[in-house]
Amino acid sequence: MSVSGGGRLPAALDAAMTALNASVHIDSALWREDIAGSIAHARGLARIGVLSDEEAQQIVAGLQQIAGEIERGEFHWDVDKEDVHMNIESRLTALVPAGAKLHTGRSRNDQIATDLRLWARRRAAELEQALLELAGVLLRRAEEHLDLLMPAYTHLQRAQPSRVSHHLMAWQELLWRDLGRLRDAARRLNESPLGAGAVAGSGFALDRAGVASELGFERPMRNSLDATASRDFLMELGSALAILAVHLSRIGEELVIWSTEEFGFVRLSDRFTTSSSMMPQKKNPDVAELVRGRAARVIGDAVSLLVLEKSLSFGYGRDLQEDKPPIFAAAESVLVCVRALSGAIDSMTFNAARLRAALGAGHMCATDVADQLVKLGVPFRNAHHTVGALVRRAEELGVQIDQLPRSEVRAIHPELTEELIDSMFSVEAAVERRQGIGGPARVRVQEAIADARVRWGLSE
Ligand code: ARG
Protein backbone atom coordinates (compact mmCIF):
# COMPACT_ATOMS: atom_id res chain seq x y z
CA MET A 1 0.00 0.00 0.00
CA SER A 2 1.24 3.43 -0.84
CA VAL A 3 2.12 5.29 2.34
CA SER A 4 1.51 8.74 0.93
CA GLY A 5 -2.25 8.54 1.51
CA GLY A 6 -1.53 8.41 5.24
CA GLY A 7 -4.54 8.56 7.55
CA ARG A 8 -6.66 10.49 5.10
CA LEU A 9 -6.61 7.89 2.29
CA PRO A 10 -5.85 4.52 3.81
CA ALA A 11 -6.98 2.44 0.82
CA ALA A 12 -4.34 0.98 -1.46
CA LEU A 13 -3.70 2.73 -4.73
CA ASP A 14 -4.86 1.16 -7.95
CA ALA A 15 -2.00 -0.60 -9.71
CA ALA A 16 -2.31 1.70 -12.70
CA MET A 17 -2.17 4.69 -10.38
CA THR A 18 0.95 3.33 -8.68
CA ALA A 19 2.59 2.97 -12.07
CA LEU A 20 1.83 6.60 -12.85
CA ASN A 21 2.39 7.95 -9.37
CA ALA A 22 5.59 6.33 -8.20
CA SER A 23 8.78 8.16 -9.00
CA VAL A 24 11.31 6.40 -6.83
CA HIS A 25 12.92 4.67 -9.81
CA ILE A 26 13.81 8.15 -11.06
CA ASP A 27 14.11 10.43 -8.05
CA SER A 28 16.20 7.98 -6.00
CA ALA A 29 19.04 9.60 -7.96
CA LEU A 30 18.49 12.55 -5.61
CA TRP A 31 19.27 10.59 -2.44
CA ARG A 32 22.43 12.52 -1.59
CA GLU A 33 20.62 15.82 -1.85
CA ASP A 34 17.58 14.51 -0.01
CA ILE A 35 19.69 13.37 2.91
CA ALA A 36 21.70 16.60 2.99
CA GLY A 37 18.45 18.60 3.04
CA SER A 38 17.02 16.44 5.82
CA ILE A 39 20.14 16.79 7.95
CA ALA A 40 20.04 20.58 7.60
CA HIS A 41 16.32 20.61 8.35
CA ALA A 42 16.79 18.43 11.47
CA ARG A 43 19.49 20.72 12.81
CA GLY A 44 17.29 23.73 12.06
CA LEU A 45 14.43 22.12 14.00
CA ALA A 46 16.75 21.57 16.95
CA ARG A 47 17.80 25.22 16.88
CA ILE A 48 14.18 26.30 17.37
CA GLY A 49 13.44 23.65 19.99
CA VAL A 50 11.13 21.43 17.91
CA LEU A 51 13.65 18.61 18.28
CA SER A 52 15.87 18.07 21.29
CA ASP A 53 19.57 18.08 20.52
CA GLU A 54 19.64 14.38 21.20
CA GLU A 55 16.78 13.71 18.79
CA ALA A 56 18.48 15.77 16.11
CA GLN A 57 21.72 13.86 16.65
CA GLN A 58 19.91 10.54 16.38
CA ILE A 59 18.21 11.67 13.19
CA VAL A 60 21.47 12.88 11.65
CA ALA A 61 23.20 9.61 12.57
CA GLY A 62 20.28 7.62 11.13
CA LEU A 63 20.41 9.61 7.89
CA GLN A 64 24.15 9.05 7.65
CA GLN A 65 23.63 5.35 8.16
CA ILE A 66 21.04 5.36 5.36
CA ALA A 67 23.49 7.18 3.08
CA GLY A 68 25.98 4.36 3.72
CA GLU A 69 23.34 1.73 2.98
CA ILE A 70 22.44 3.39 -0.30
CA GLU A 71 26.07 3.83 -1.28
CA ARG A 72 26.79 0.15 -0.63
CA GLY A 73 23.70 -0.90 -2.59
CA GLU A 74 22.07 -2.36 0.50
CA PHE A 75 19.11 -0.02 0.64
CA HIS A 76 15.77 -1.47 -0.41
CA TRP A 77 13.91 1.02 -2.57
CA ASP A 78 10.21 0.32 -2.26
CA VAL A 79 7.94 1.45 -5.08
CA ASP A 80 4.99 1.44 -2.69
CA LYS A 81 6.70 4.20 -0.76
CA GLU A 82 6.38 6.26 -3.90
CA ASP A 83 9.43 8.49 -3.93
CA VAL A 84 12.90 9.14 -2.57
CA HIS A 85 11.56 11.23 0.30
CA MET A 86 9.14 8.62 1.68
CA ASN A 87 11.61 5.79 1.22
CA ILE A 88 14.28 7.55 3.23
CA GLU A 89 11.92 8.90 5.86
CA SER A 90 10.34 5.52 6.47
CA ARG A 91 13.71 3.83 6.82
CA LEU A 92 14.80 6.60 9.17
CA THR A 93 11.74 6.16 11.35
CA ALA A 94 12.42 2.42 11.54
CA LEU A 95 15.96 3.19 12.72
CA VAL A 96 15.17 6.15 14.99
CA PRO A 97 11.74 6.80 16.49
CA ALA A 98 12.43 10.56 16.46
CA GLY A 99 12.50 10.26 12.67
CA ALA A 100 8.73 10.63 12.81
CA LYS A 101 9.26 14.26 13.90
CA LEU A 102 11.50 15.18 10.97
CA HIS A 103 8.73 16.24 8.63
CA THR A 104 7.62 18.98 11.02
CA GLY A 105 7.31 22.27 9.15
CA ARG A 106 8.28 20.65 5.89
CA SER A 107 6.49 19.35 2.82
CA ARG A 108 7.69 17.20 -0.01
CA ASN A 109 7.04 20.28 -2.12
CA ASP A 110 9.83 22.34 -0.58
CA GLN A 111 11.85 19.17 -0.11
CA ILE A 112 11.91 18.23 -3.80
CA ALA A 113 12.55 21.81 -4.87
CA THR A 114 15.54 21.84 -2.51
CA ASP A 115 16.84 18.48 -3.71
CA LEU A 116 16.61 19.60 -7.32
CA ARG A 117 18.45 22.85 -6.71
CA LEU A 118 21.23 21.03 -4.87
CA TRP A 119 21.39 18.47 -7.66
CA ALA A 120 21.44 21.12 -10.39
CA ARG A 121 24.24 22.95 -8.61
CA ARG A 122 26.33 19.78 -8.36
CA ARG A 123 25.72 18.75 -11.97
CA ALA A 124 26.49 22.25 -13.26
CA ALA A 125 29.85 22.04 -11.48
CA GLU A 126 30.56 18.65 -13.08
CA LEU A 127 29.60 19.99 -16.49
CA GLU A 128 31.85 22.99 -15.94
CA GLN A 129 34.72 20.67 -15.18
CA ALA A 130 34.08 18.62 -18.32
CA LEU A 131 33.91 21.78 -20.42
CA LEU A 132 37.17 22.92 -18.91
CA GLU A 133 38.79 19.69 -20.02
CA LEU A 134 37.43 20.06 -23.55
CA ALA A 135 38.68 23.65 -23.69
CA GLY A 136 42.08 22.44 -22.50
CA VAL A 137 42.20 19.91 -25.34
CA LEU A 138 41.25 22.56 -27.91
CA LEU A 139 43.87 24.99 -26.64
CA ARG A 140 46.58 22.35 -26.65
CA ARG A 141 45.73 21.22 -30.18
CA ALA A 142 45.53 24.83 -31.35
CA GLU A 143 49.02 25.42 -30.01
CA GLU A 144 50.36 22.26 -31.60
CA HIS A 145 49.00 23.20 -35.01
CA LEU A 146 49.69 26.89 -34.99
CA ASP A 147 51.44 26.69 -38.36
CA LEU A 148 48.95 24.45 -40.09
CA LEU A 149 46.88 26.40 -42.60
CA MET A 150 43.45 25.45 -43.86
CA PRO A 151 40.68 27.06 -45.86
CA ALA A 152 38.00 28.98 -44.03
CA TYR A 153 34.58 28.19 -45.46
CA THR A 154 31.37 30.07 -46.03
CA HIS A 155 28.40 28.17 -47.46
CA LEU A 156 30.71 25.18 -47.05
CA GLN A 157 32.64 26.59 -50.05
CA ARG A 158 36.31 27.44 -49.73
CA ALA A 159 36.43 31.14 -48.96
CA GLN A 160 39.69 32.51 -47.58
CA PRO A 161 42.89 31.05 -46.22
CA SER A 162 42.99 30.59 -42.47
CA ARG A 163 44.66 28.32 -39.94
CA VAL A 164 43.55 25.19 -38.10
CA SER A 165 44.18 26.86 -34.75
CA HIS A 166 41.89 29.71 -35.64
CA HIS A 167 39.14 27.21 -36.36
CA LEU A 168 39.68 25.30 -33.12
CA MET A 169 39.65 28.57 -31.25
CA ALA A 170 36.29 29.42 -32.80
CA TRP A 171 34.88 26.24 -31.25
CA GLN A 172 36.45 27.26 -27.95
CA GLU A 173 34.64 30.62 -28.08
CA LEU A 174 31.24 28.90 -28.31
CA LEU A 175 32.13 26.72 -25.35
CA TRP A 176 33.30 29.72 -23.36
CA ARG A 177 29.85 31.28 -23.69
CA ASP A 178 28.30 27.93 -22.77
CA LEU A 179 30.37 27.94 -19.61
CA GLY A 180 29.06 31.42 -18.83
CA ARG A 181 25.47 30.26 -19.28
CA LEU A 182 26.03 27.29 -16.98
CA ARG A 183 27.67 29.42 -14.33
CA ASP A 184 24.96 32.01 -14.57
CA ALA A 185 22.22 29.41 -14.18
CA ALA A 186 24.05 27.79 -11.27
CA ARG A 187 24.47 31.12 -9.53
CA ARG A 188 20.83 32.12 -9.93
CA LEU A 189 19.43 28.80 -8.73
CA ASN A 190 21.48 28.79 -5.56
CA GLU A 191 18.65 29.73 -3.16
CA SER A 192 16.95 27.60 -0.56
CA PRO A 193 13.28 26.61 -0.84
CA LEU A 194 13.32 24.85 2.55
CA GLY A 195 10.83 26.35 4.93
CA ALA A 196 8.41 27.26 2.15
CA GLY A 197 6.46 24.15 3.14
CA ALA A 198 3.77 22.96 0.79
CA VAL A 199 2.92 26.40 -0.50
CA ALA A 200 2.45 29.01 2.22
CA GLY A 201 5.27 28.42 4.63
CA SER A 202 5.02 27.10 8.16
CA GLY A 203 3.63 28.22 11.51
CA PHE A 204 6.90 27.15 13.12
CA ALA A 205 9.59 29.80 13.41
CA LEU A 206 11.91 27.83 11.13
CA ASP A 207 15.50 29.02 10.85
CA ARG A 208 15.37 29.35 7.10
CA ALA A 209 18.54 31.42 6.83
CA GLY A 210 20.55 28.98 8.95
CA VAL A 211 19.32 25.99 6.95
CA ALA A 212 20.05 27.81 3.67
CA SER A 213 23.57 28.61 4.73
CA GLU A 214 24.26 25.08 5.99
CA LEU A 215 23.34 23.82 2.52
CA GLY A 216 25.59 26.36 0.83
CA PHE A 217 22.69 28.37 -0.59
CA GLU A 218 23.03 32.14 -0.92
CA ARG A 219 19.76 32.86 0.87
CA PRO A 220 16.31 31.43 1.55
CA MET A 221 13.96 31.93 -1.39
CA ARG A 222 11.92 35.06 -0.84
CA ASN A 223 8.46 33.70 -1.64
CA SER A 224 7.03 30.35 -0.54
CA LEU A 225 4.70 30.03 -3.54
CA ASP A 226 7.52 30.72 -5.94
CA ALA A 227 9.89 28.45 -4.02
CA THR A 228 7.66 25.42 -4.42
CA ALA A 229 6.03 26.06 -7.79
CA SER A 230 8.84 27.40 -9.97
CA ARG A 231 11.19 25.38 -12.08
CA ASP A 232 12.64 28.12 -14.25
CA PHE A 233 16.03 27.10 -12.85
CA LEU A 234 15.56 23.82 -14.70
CA MET A 235 14.30 25.53 -17.85
CA GLU A 236 17.37 27.72 -17.67
CA LEU A 237 19.82 24.89 -17.10
CA GLY A 238 18.02 22.78 -19.72
CA SER A 239 18.20 25.63 -22.23
CA ALA A 240 21.88 26.20 -21.54
CA LEU A 241 22.41 22.48 -22.08
CA ALA A 242 20.40 22.53 -25.30
CA ILE A 243 22.49 25.40 -26.67
CA LEU A 244 25.64 23.58 -25.61
CA ALA A 245 24.42 20.39 -27.27
CA VAL A 246 23.73 22.31 -30.47
CA HIS A 247 27.27 23.63 -30.35
CA LEU A 248 28.63 20.14 -29.85
CA SER A 249 26.54 18.99 -32.81
CA ARG A 250 28.15 21.61 -35.02
CA ILE A 251 31.60 20.44 -33.96
CA GLY A 252 30.43 16.87 -34.55
CA GLU A 253 29.21 17.76 -38.03
CA GLU A 254 32.56 19.31 -38.92
CA LEU A 255 34.39 16.22 -37.70
CA VAL A 256 32.11 14.08 -39.85
CA ILE A 257 32.87 16.24 -42.89
CA TRP A 258 36.58 16.54 -42.16
CA SER A 259 37.00 12.80 -41.77
CA THR A 260 35.36 11.93 -45.10
CA GLU A 261 37.53 10.51 -47.87
CA GLU A 262 36.54 13.63 -49.83
CA PHE A 263 37.93 16.11 -47.28
CA GLY A 264 40.43 13.94 -45.44
CA PHE A 265 41.47 16.77 -43.11
CA VAL A 266 41.48 14.59 -40.01
CA ARG A 267 41.64 10.99 -39.00
CA LEU A 268 39.80 10.00 -35.85
CA SER A 269 41.39 7.52 -33.51
CA ASP A 270 40.17 3.92 -33.69
CA ARG A 271 39.04 4.38 -30.11
CA PHE A 272 36.27 6.69 -31.31
CA THR A 273 35.24 5.06 -34.56
CA THR A 274 33.70 1.78 -35.62
CA SER A 275 33.73 -0.30 -38.75
CA SER A 276 30.75 -1.69 -40.61
CA SER A 277 29.32 -5.12 -39.97
CA MET A 278 29.05 -5.55 -43.75
CA MET A 279 31.67 -3.34 -45.41
CA PRO A 280 35.14 -4.20 -44.12
CA GLN A 281 36.78 -1.06 -45.50
CA LYS A 282 34.62 1.30 -43.43
CA LYS A 283 35.86 3.53 -40.61
CA ASN A 284 32.90 5.52 -39.42
CA PRO A 285 33.10 8.73 -37.38
CA ASP A 286 30.58 7.41 -34.84
CA VAL A 287 31.62 9.67 -32.02
CA ALA A 288 30.85 12.75 -34.07
CA GLU A 289 27.59 11.36 -35.42
CA LEU A 290 26.37 10.30 -31.99
CA VAL A 291 27.15 13.71 -30.54
CA ARG A 292 25.31 15.29 -33.45
CA GLY A 293 22.35 12.98 -32.89
CA ARG A 294 22.28 13.29 -29.12
CA ALA A 295 21.65 17.02 -29.46
CA ALA A 296 18.18 16.15 -30.75
CA ARG A 297 17.35 14.56 -27.43
CA VAL A 298 18.77 17.41 -25.38
CA ILE A 299 16.72 19.91 -27.38
CA GLY A 300 13.68 17.72 -26.71
CA ASP A 301 14.50 17.70 -23.00
CA ALA A 302 14.63 21.50 -22.90
CA VAL A 303 11.33 21.71 -24.75
CA SER A 304 9.76 19.23 -22.30
CA LEU A 305 10.78 21.42 -19.38
CA LEU A 306 9.34 24.53 -21.00
CA VAL A 307 6.06 22.90 -21.91
CA LEU A 308 5.73 21.22 -18.51
CA GLU A 309 5.50 24.57 -16.78
CA LYS A 310 3.57 26.38 -19.48
CA SER A 311 0.22 27.68 -18.13
CA LEU A 312 0.71 25.87 -14.82
CA SER A 313 -1.17 27.65 -12.05
CA PHE A 314 0.42 28.50 -8.70
CA GLY A 315 1.47 26.77 -6.40
CA TYR A 316 2.84 23.29 -6.78
CA GLY A 317 1.16 21.02 -9.31
CA ARG A 318 1.96 17.36 -9.52
CA ASP A 319 2.88 17.87 -13.17
CA LEU A 320 6.18 19.11 -11.81
CA GLN A 321 7.17 15.57 -10.89
CA GLU A 322 7.77 15.12 -14.61
CA ASP A 323 10.63 17.61 -14.56
CA LYS A 324 13.19 15.02 -13.51
CA PRO A 325 13.50 12.69 -16.53
CA PRO A 326 14.28 15.51 -18.98
CA ILE A 327 16.75 17.40 -16.83
CA PHE A 328 18.50 14.23 -15.65
CA ALA A 329 18.76 12.99 -19.23
CA ALA A 330 19.95 16.34 -20.58
CA ALA A 331 22.73 16.65 -18.02
CA GLU A 332 23.87 13.08 -18.57
CA SER A 333 23.76 13.41 -22.36
CA VAL A 334 25.79 16.57 -22.41
CA LEU A 335 28.37 15.22 -19.98
CA VAL A 336 28.85 12.10 -22.07
CA CYS A 337 29.09 14.13 -25.29
CA VAL A 338 31.57 16.66 -23.91
CA ARG A 339 33.79 13.89 -22.58
CA ALA A 340 33.64 11.83 -25.76
CA LEU A 341 34.42 14.85 -27.93
CA SER A 342 37.34 15.75 -25.69
CA GLY A 343 38.81 12.31 -26.23
CA ALA A 344 38.11 12.31 -29.96
CA ILE A 345 39.64 15.74 -30.55
CA ASP A 346 42.56 14.94 -28.29
CA SER A 347 43.41 11.81 -30.26
CA MET A 348 42.61 12.79 -33.85
CA THR A 349 45.36 13.50 -36.34
CA PHE A 350 45.42 16.25 -38.93
CA ASN A 351 46.45 15.48 -42.49
CA ALA A 352 48.74 18.34 -43.48
CA ALA A 353 48.95 17.27 -47.13
CA ARG A 354 45.18 17.24 -47.56
CA LEU A 355 44.79 20.58 -45.81
CA ARG A 356 47.46 22.03 -48.07
CA ALA A 357 45.79 20.60 -51.15
CA ALA A 358 42.45 22.05 -50.08
CA LEU A 359 43.99 25.48 -49.86
CA GLY A 360 44.74 24.98 -53.56
CA ALA A 361 46.36 28.44 -53.56
CA GLY A 362 45.17 30.70 -56.37
CA HIS A 363 41.47 31.28 -56.10
CA MET A 364 41.69 31.16 -52.31
CA CYS A 365 43.55 34.48 -52.56
CA ALA A 366 41.01 36.21 -54.80
CA THR A 367 40.10 38.65 -52.03
CA ASP A 368 43.77 39.42 -51.56
CA VAL A 369 44.23 40.15 -55.27
CA ALA A 370 41.29 42.56 -55.11
CA ASP A 371 42.72 44.12 -51.94
CA GLN A 372 46.08 44.59 -53.73
CA LEU A 373 44.35 46.47 -56.54
CA VAL A 374 42.64 48.65 -53.93
CA LYS A 375 46.05 49.48 -52.49
CA LEU A 376 47.04 50.59 -56.00
CA GLY A 377 44.09 52.98 -56.05
CA VAL A 378 41.33 50.91 -57.68
CA PRO A 379 37.90 51.24 -56.02
CA PHE A 380 36.98 47.90 -54.37
CA ARG A 381 33.90 47.28 -56.54
CA ASN A 382 35.98 47.65 -59.72
CA ALA A 383 38.75 45.50 -58.29
CA HIS A 384 36.17 42.83 -57.35
CA HIS A 385 34.91 42.86 -60.96
CA THR A 386 38.42 42.58 -62.40
CA VAL A 387 39.37 39.66 -60.17
CA GLY A 388 36.06 37.96 -60.95
CA ALA A 389 37.03 38.08 -64.62
CA LEU A 390 40.45 36.68 -63.75
CA VAL A 391 38.84 33.72 -61.96
CA ARG A 392 36.54 33.13 -64.91
CA ARG A 393 39.55 33.12 -67.23
CA ALA A 394 41.38 30.67 -64.97
CA GLU A 395 38.37 28.38 -64.95
CA GLU A 396 38.27 28.44 -68.76
CA LEU A 397 41.86 27.24 -68.73
CA GLY A 398 41.19 24.78 -65.89
CA VAL A 399 43.77 26.32 -63.55
CA GLN A 400 43.90 28.36 -60.34
CA ILE A 401 44.46 32.08 -60.79
CA ASP A 402 48.05 31.84 -59.61
CA GLN A 403 48.75 29.46 -62.49
CA LEU A 404 47.54 31.89 -65.18
CA PRO A 405 50.16 33.22 -67.56
CA ARG A 406 51.86 36.07 -65.68
CA SER A 407 51.26 38.42 -68.61
CA GLU A 408 47.50 38.04 -68.17
CA VAL A 409 47.79 38.75 -64.45
CA ARG A 410 50.04 41.75 -64.93
CA ALA A 411 47.56 43.13 -67.44
CA ILE A 412 44.98 43.81 -64.73
CA HIS A 413 47.02 46.75 -63.40
CA PRO A 414 50.05 48.59 -64.78
CA GLU A 415 51.74 48.92 -61.38
CA LEU A 416 51.69 45.24 -60.49
CA THR A 417 55.24 44.00 -59.93
CA GLU A 418 56.31 40.35 -59.80
CA GLU A 419 56.87 40.77 -56.10
CA LEU A 420 53.37 42.11 -55.49
CA ILE A 421 51.89 39.31 -57.57
CA ASP A 422 53.78 36.64 -55.62
CA SER A 423 52.61 38.13 -52.36
CA MET A 424 48.99 38.40 -53.37
CA PHE A 425 48.95 34.76 -54.47
CA SER A 426 50.62 33.43 -51.34
CA VAL A 427 48.23 31.83 -48.85
CA GLU A 428 50.79 32.27 -46.07
CA ALA A 429 51.06 35.98 -46.81
CA ALA A 430 47.27 36.23 -47.08
CA VAL A 431 46.76 34.73 -43.62
CA GLU A 432 49.52 36.88 -42.14
CA ARG A 433 47.93 40.02 -43.55
CA ARG A 434 44.83 39.29 -41.47
CA GLN A 435 46.27 40.94 -38.42
CA GLY A 436 43.13 42.63 -37.15
CA ILE A 437 41.51 41.74 -33.84
CA GLY A 438 39.89 38.31 -34.19
CA GLY A 439 41.85 37.46 -37.33
CA PRO A 440 43.86 34.32 -38.20
CA ALA A 441 47.35 35.89 -38.36
CA ARG A 442 49.78 33.79 -36.33
CA VAL A 443 50.38 36.44 -33.69
CA ARG A 444 46.65 37.07 -33.22
CA VAL A 445 45.90 33.37 -32.76
CA GLN A 446 48.78 33.05 -30.31
CA GLU A 447 47.31 35.92 -28.34
CA ALA A 448 43.86 34.37 -28.54
CA ILE A 449 45.19 31.13 -27.10
CA ALA A 450 47.02 32.93 -24.30
CA ASP A 451 43.93 34.99 -23.52
CA ALA A 452 41.74 31.88 -23.47
CA ARG A 453 44.14 30.13 -21.12
CA VAL A 454 43.73 32.95 -18.65
CA ARG A 455 39.94 33.13 -19.02
CA TRP A 456 39.48 29.39 -18.52
CA GLY A 457 42.03 29.36 -15.72
CA LEU A 458 44.11 26.77 -17.61
CA SER A 459 47.81 27.24 -17.13
CA GLU A 460 50.18 25.84 -19.75
N1 ARG B 1 7.48 13.49 -6.22
C2 ARG B 1 7.11 14.88 -6.16
C3 ARG B 1 7.88 15.65 -7.24
O4 ARG B 1 8.80 15.11 -7.76
C5 ARG B 1 7.44 15.42 -4.83
C6 ARG B 1 6.39 16.29 -4.24
C7 ARG B 1 5.13 15.57 -4.08
N8 ARG B 1 4.16 16.37 -3.48
C9 ARG B 1 2.92 15.94 -3.33
N10 ARG B 1 2.12 16.70 -2.77
N11 ARG B 1 2.53 14.80 -3.80
O12 ARG B 1 7.55 16.76 -7.57
Side-chain half-sphere CA neighbours of 145 within 13 A: 28
Domain boundaries of the chain, sorted by first residue: 3-101, 108-203+222-355, 358-456
Percentage of the chain with pLDDT > 70?
Answer: 98
Question: pLDDT tens across 182-227, in order?
Answer: 999 999 999 999 999 999 999 999 999 999 999 999 999 999 999 9
Q: Assign 235 a pLDDT band (cuts: 50, 70, 90).
A: very high
Ligand 1 atom nearest residue 318's Cα: 12
232-258 vs 108-144: helix crossing angle, rounded to 10 = 30
What is 25-60 written as a DSSP string? Answer: HHHGGGHHHHHHHHHHHHHHHHHTTSS-HHHHHHHH
4: pLDDT strictly greater than 80: no
Average pLDDT over every residue of 40-59: 98
pLDDT at residue 6 in the model: 76
How large is the greatest C-alpha to C-alpha distance in the chain, in angstroms? Answer: 99
Average pLDDT over every residue of 427-435: 94
pLDDT at residue 279 in the model: 83
| CATH number for the domain whose boundaries are 108-203+222-355 | 1.20.200.10
The residue from 52, 275, 276, 385 that is catalytic is: 276
- Model pTM score: 0.94
Q: Assign 90 a pLDDT band (cuts: 50, 70, 90).
A: very high
The residue from 155, 313, 407, 459 that is catalytic is: 155
Sign of CA dihedral 170, 172, 175, 176: negative
User: What is the DSSP-derived secondary structure letter of residue 69?
Assistant: H
pLDDT at residue 2 in the model: 47
> Which of these CATH numbers, 1.20.120.550, 3.30.530.20, 1.10.760.10, 1.10.40.30, describes 358-456?
1.10.40.30
325: pLDDT strictly greater than 70: yes
286-309 vs 324-347: helix crossing angle, rounded to 10 = 160
Between the CA of 21 and the centroid of ligand 1 the distance, in Å, is: 9
β-sheet bridge partners, residue 158? 153
**Displacement of CA 441 from its chain's centroid (Å):** 29
Q: Tell me how far apart the alpha carbons of residues 11 and 339 are, in angstroms, rounded to a whole number.
A: 48
Q: Which of 4-8, 49-53, 218-222, 350-354 bottoms out in mean pLDDT, i.e. has the lowest?
A: 4-8
278: pLDDT strictly greater than 90: no
Between the CA of 98 and the centroid of ligand 1 the distance, in Å, is: 23
CATH topology of domain 3-101: Fumarase C; Chain B, domain 1 (1.10.275)
